Amino acid sequence: MSARTKARKRALDMLFQADVRGEALPAVVAAEAKRAVGEPDRAASWLYAREIVDGVSDHRDEIDELIMSYAQGWTLDRMPNVDRALLRLASWEILFNDEVPTAVAIDEAVELAKEYSTDDSGRFVNGVLGRIADHAKA
pLDDT in tens, 52-91: 999 999 999 999 999 999 998 899 999 999 999 999 999 9
Q: Which pLDDT belongs to residue 44?
A: 73
Q: Which pLDDT belongs to residue 37?
A: 80
Q: Which pLDDT belongs to residue 63?
A: 98
Q: Which pLDDT belongs to residue 45?
A: 84
Evaluate whether the domain defined by 3-137 bears CATH number 3.40.50.300.
no
- Given a cut of 70, the residues of the chain with pLDDT beneath it are none
Buried b (16+ CB within 10 A) or exposed e, 6-35: bbbbbbbbbbbbbbeeeeebeebbeebeee
Q: Which pLDDT belongs to residue 42?
A: 74
